[in-house]
Amino acid sequence: MALKRGTSGLGIQRNRSAGSSFPILVLIFCSFLAPLIFFVGRGLYTSTSLDGDDFSTTSSKRDLDWRERLALQQIKPLLTKEVIDVIKASTDDLGPLSLDSFRKNNLSASWKFVGRETIAKKIGADAKVNKPSQIADTDSKPEITRGKRDGSVDGGHSQFLDSPAKLARRQLRERKREKRAADIVKRDDDVSVKLENAAIERSKSVDSSVLGKYSVWRKENENDNSDSTVRLMRDQMIMARVYISIATMKNKLDLAHDLQTRLKESQRALGDAGSDADLTRSAHEKMKAMGQVLSKAREQVYDCKLVTTKLRAMLQSADEQVRSLKRQSTFLSQLAAKTIPNGIHCLSMRLTIDYYLLPPEKRKFPRSENLENPDLFHYALFSDNVLAASVVVNSTIVNAKEPEKHVFHLVSDKLNFGAMNMWFLLNPPGKATIHVENVDEFKWLNSSYCPVLRQLESAAMKEYYFKAAHPNTLSAGSSNLKYRNPKYLSMLNHLRFYLPQVYPKLNKILFLDDDIVVQKDLTGLWLVDLHGKVNGAVETCGQSFHRFDKYLNFSNPHIARNFDPNACGWAYGMNMFDLKEWKKRDITGIYHKWQNMNEDRVLWKLGTLPPGLITFYGLTHPLEKSWHVLGLGYNPSIDRSDIENAAVVHYNGNMKPWLELAMTKYRPYWTKYIKFDHPYMRSCKLSE
């Protein structure tokens, strides 16, 4: 019994041990064998899928080749061989046309190819579990089999390798595109340069003359931020007027009253201030108060359409006022240029009285024997302005190396003849010789000999000069005032055409205007070879300015036949005349001929320069520009070095140095030759 019981216990023990090992085997199978079977099966499936893709790609290629052959068979009868060759060459260069190739090859980098990133990620994930040999096989397989391009997927972008011939053609096309782009840019640059040069030339033709301190050349106008308070207050005043009108229209009388009050306060605070420095201390407070009222007005009555309408009306009104003021300014500036200041008139009257109080023996100048000596340096000066003539003579003598060899021939009218004599008797020009004559005593200068005198005595000329369409207002008379300039009626202005008659024994003479200043010794002008010409002068033409067509009427056949409209003009003011050649060529006779032809003023309008250009046409020798610098009477932008290096500076224009409207920066060149401490100058209150 015991034995059986023991045997039975042993069997029971074996059965228990066998039952406990089965779960362990199941656990081992699930942990090791199942994943191994899964991965092996996956690898086999992936290999089969890739082989399937290769097969499908090869099949699609065969199908594409068949379609290409069929298309060529249908196209050949329709196209010539040359056209087919061109298509074939383009196909070889760009690859066969298909939606897939267009999508992969021709889109820019900014386009996204949907699915490409997914394929790249899938291939990267498979590469981690496959063998190195499989990875190498996968990378070596071409992704695109059409055409002759090799590619690989790398980071979502396809890279292609071309043959050397295709690469060379692509580089050639790129170079051509770059060259065309560079040519376009160069043409644009050339056009820009031309436009800039044209703008510069147009700016030179703008009349830049200004009056006194109201000059656009002032330094504060160069700074865009200067005088900001003044400009802001003026803008506030403009807007206040606009809102006053709108508030009155909308029956906002309290607001209109407030605006009117602030406007008057701003006007009083601003006054005549031209810059922030001229403003009073209260100006800033008034500006802030005005700003508050304007903000209130904007909240209550602002209407964009009404404001625009009011501003436009104000602009038109201001434009009309500006035009009217310009005409008045032109009239007044011309009037001021033609008048004589009180101080100079006083000086002339006092000198005249004292001259005629002198006994006749004291009215003579010394060294009268030099007046007809051709070996000396002779000057001709025709003037009715005592102070201006004194500056010309004094500046010439001060800068002369040998003053004793200089002879001045002055001619004045009977009104200023005594004053001119008295001044130079009291202030003799050192060792130089001087002589004063009266133009009214030239008995040979009469209307029977001189055409301009005969014309001035005619009724038609008096009507032309004195009535001038009977202007009723200042602005209407501005265009006619130039016809009434006294110098056009004075024979002193036309006497320059009769130099051989006035000085018959001289060979050369230097003609000077009375609005010039001499800064260097002028004896070198007598050494200038005029090459057989009569007149030595500085030319004034620059670009299209101061040429003959600016002075003469080329619509007249007489002018058009005889003169070149583009011929260069020259300047009166400092002219060297060869009187021998003058007589030989009968210059005065030429002048008489053209003056007779211009009796009805159809050849030229005014002045002595147009007949001078005609009379000395082809007979003028150009001098160096440094001898004679012009424009100090109208041009504020003359280079300072040009002025200081000039032998003669000329105040031609309306802004004469003895007038209040003279440009202040040029006036010292003239005033330094005036003796302001002279008793006559002090008595007439003439000062710098």
Strands 628-629 and 648-650 turn out to be parallel
pLDDT at 546: 76
φ, ψ of residue 148 in degrees (nearest 5): -115, 25
Three-state SS at 270: helix
CA 39 to chain centre: 83
Reported as half-sphere exposure (CB side, CA atoms, 13 A), residue 85 has a value of 3
**What are all long-range contacts of 34-42, with beta carbons under 8 Å and residues at least 24 apart?**
39/129, 42/129
How confident is the model at residue 483, as a pLDDT?
52
* pLDDT tens string 500-531: 999 999 999 999 999 999 999 999 999 999 99
The confidence score (pLDDT) of residue 231 equals 86
Strand partners, 438: 412
In the chain, count of helices (H) and strands (E)? 26, 12
- Predicted confidence at residue 386, as pLDDT, reads 95
- Tens of pLDDT, residue by residue over 312-344, are 888 888 888 888 888 877 777 777 777 788 999
In degrees, rounded to 5, the angle at the alpha carbon of residue 386 between the alpha carbons of residues 487 and 638 is: 70
Q: What kind and span of H or E run contains 594?
A: helix 587-597
**pLDDT-based confidence at 28, cuts 50/70/90?**
low
**45-59, 146-160, 650-664 — which is least confidently predicted?**
146-160
179-211 pLDDT tens trace: 887 877 777 677 667 766 666 665 555 444 433
Are 306 and 246 in contact by the 8 Å Cβ rule? The answer is yes
Rounded Cα–Cα distance for residues 429 and 399 (Å): 12
Residue 559 pLDDT > 60, yes or no?
A: yes
DSSP 163-181: -HHHHHHHHHHHHHHHHHH
For 368-420, the pLDDT digits (tens) are: 999 999 999 999 999 999 999 999 999 999 999 999 999 999 999 999 999 99
> Average model confidence (pLDDT) for the chain?
77
Residues 413, 420: Cα–Cα separation, whole Å: 10
* Amino acid sitting at position 586: D
> How much is the pLDDT for 93?
47
Per-residue DSSP letter, 523: G
pLDDT in tens, 76-91: 665 566 666 655 655 5
Nearest Cα neighbor of 646 from 657, 658, 630, 622 is 630
Locus of tokens 């001044």: 423
Per-residue confidence (pLDDT) for residue 528, from 0 to 100: 95
- Tell me what pLDDT residue 275 has: 80
pLDDT at 73: 66
CB of 610 within 8 A of CB of 629?
no
pLDDT reported for residue 419: 96
Lowest mean pLDDT among 57-71, 147-161, 313-327: 147-161
The residue assigned the tokens 């191994």 is 36
- φ and ψ at residue 545, rounded to 5 degrees: -90, 150
pLDDT classification of 178: cutoffs 50, 70, 90: confident
| pLDDT digits 0-9 by tens, 92-151 | 444 444 444 444 444 444 444 444 444 444 445 554 444 444 444 444 444 444 444 444
Per-position b or e across 216-248, b if 16+ CB within 10 A of its CB:
eeeeeeeeeeebebbeebeebbebbbbbbbbbb
Q: 433-438 and 535-537 as β-strands: parallel, antiparallel, unpaired? A: unpaired
Q: So what's the pLDDT on residue 131?
A: 43
Q: What is the pLDDT of residue 38?
A: 58
Per-residue pLDDT reduced to its tens digit, 587-643: 999 999 999 998 888 898 778 889 999 999 999 999 999 999 999 998 999 999 999
pLDDT tens digit sequence for 219-263? 444 444 557 888 888 888 889 988 898 888 888 889 989 999 989
pLDDT score recorded for residue 144:
40
CA-to-CA distance for 430 and 414, rounded, in angstroms?
Answer: 26
Residue 459: predicted pLDDT: 72
Is residue 24 over pLDDT 70?
no
Q: Find the mean pLDDT for residues 417-434.
A: 95
